[in-house]
Amino acid sequence: MGTFKCIGVLTSGGDAPGMNAAIRAVTRAAISKGIQVKGIYRGYKGLVTNEIEDLYSDSVSNIIQRGGTILKTARCAEFMTPEGRQVAYDNMKAHGMEALVVIGGDGSLTGARIFAQEFNVPCIGLPGTIDNDLYGTDTTIGYDTALNTIVDAIDKIRDTAASHERLFFVEVMGRDAGFLALNGAIASGAEAAIIPEYNTEVDQLDELIRRGFRKSKNSSIVLVAESKSKGGALHIAERMKNEYPGYDVRISILGHLQRGGSPTAHDRIIASRMGAAAIDALLEDQRNVMIGIERDEIVYVPFTRAIKKVKPLRPELLEVLRELGI
C-alpha cells in the first residue's frame, strides 16, 4: 500500500460541469485518509508559476452544484517544454507534493503521462471533458450535462424551425468525436446527425437528401459535430444552399453554452465516485492511470490506452436515428 502525506490536484483543458464535484471528492477523500491537499490554480500553468494553495474540507464546501472549476484552467506553453516541466516539478517538490490528480481531457492526461515519466511522479487522471472521447470509460465528467444542455437548446430551436418551415443545422462540440451530436439527435428527436466517425461529410449529406427526410415534415433539424477537417455546420449549410437551393437553411452554433451550467445528478455522482477512487488508486500504488467507469464499476485505465486508443461509437445508435428520423 502506498503512503502519501501531500498530493496536488488541478483541472486542465476545457472546463466541464462536474469538475468542482471531482475537486471536492478528491480533497475530502484525501483528508479523510490523513493526506494534505494542495490546489493548483490554472492547470499546469499554475504548477509552473507556483499558484498553489492548501485545500481544506471547508475550501470545497458548496461547490458540488457549480459549473466550471474553482481551480480555473488555462493553456500553458511552458509546460510543453522540458524546461517548463522542470520548473513545475521543482515547485511541486517545494510544496511537499508527492503525487498529482489531474482532471481533464486527452491533452491534460497526455501532459500528466509525460510529466510522470520524466520525474517518476505518481499521477492519476480523472476524465473531465464534455466530448466523452476518452477510451476506457463509458462516460466522462461533464458529458451528461452537456448532452442535456444540447437537448434543451434544440427543443427551443425546433419551435422556430417549425414556425418558419426551415431546415436547421445545429453545430455541437465534440471535436472529432460524434457522441454529443449522435446522442443529442436521438434525445431531441432530430432528423439526422452528421458525425466524423462514419463515412464522409459528403456521403452523409447526400444520404439525407436521397432519403427524402423532409417529405412528411415542414421543418427539420440536423445536428453536426464540429470538425476542423469538415468545416462544421457553416460548411455543410453552404453546400446545402449551393446544391439544394430549394431548402430554407439556417445555422445555430451552440458553442461554449454546452460547457456551462450546473452539473446533472449523474455528473455529480460519477465525479464524486471517480474523485474518491483516485485517492484509493494512489494508496493501492497505482500510477499513470485514468479512473474510468465501465458497467457502473470503477476501473483503472493506463494513460496510454485512454489517450491513444479511439473510443468507438456504437453503430446501432446511428441505425436507431435513421429509423426514427423518417
**Residue of 15, 131, 133, 267 marked catalytic:** 131
Q: What angle do CA 36, 282, 269 make, to 5 degrees?
A: 85
Decide: residue 162, CB within 10 A, 0-12 exposed, 13-18 middle, 19+ buried: middle
Distance between CA atoms of residues 39 and 18, nearest Å: 16
In the structure grid, which three cell numbers stand for residue 157, read together?
430551436
Residue of 151, 61, 142, 43 lying closest to 101 (CA atoms)? 43
In the structure grid, which three cell numbers stand for residue 286, read together?
497505482
> What residue type is assigned to position 242 of the chain?
N
Distance between CA atoms of residues 152 and 60, nearest Å: 29
Q: 234: alpha, beta or left, given left = phi > 0 and alpha = psi -120 to 50?
A: alpha
Residue of 268, 320, 308, 247 lying closest to 142 (CA atoms)? 268
What order do you get walking across the sheet with 192-194 strand by strand? Answer: 192-194, 220-225, 167-172, 249-253
285 flagged as catalytic? no
Residue of 209, 258, 213 lying closest to 236 (CA atoms)? 209
> Do the Cβ atoms of 112 and 123 come closer than 8 Å?
yes
Q: With H, G, I as helix, E, B as strand and everything else as coil, classify residue 100.
A: strand
Distance between CA atoms of residues 266 and 108, nearest Å: 23
Catalytic residue numbers, as ranges: 131
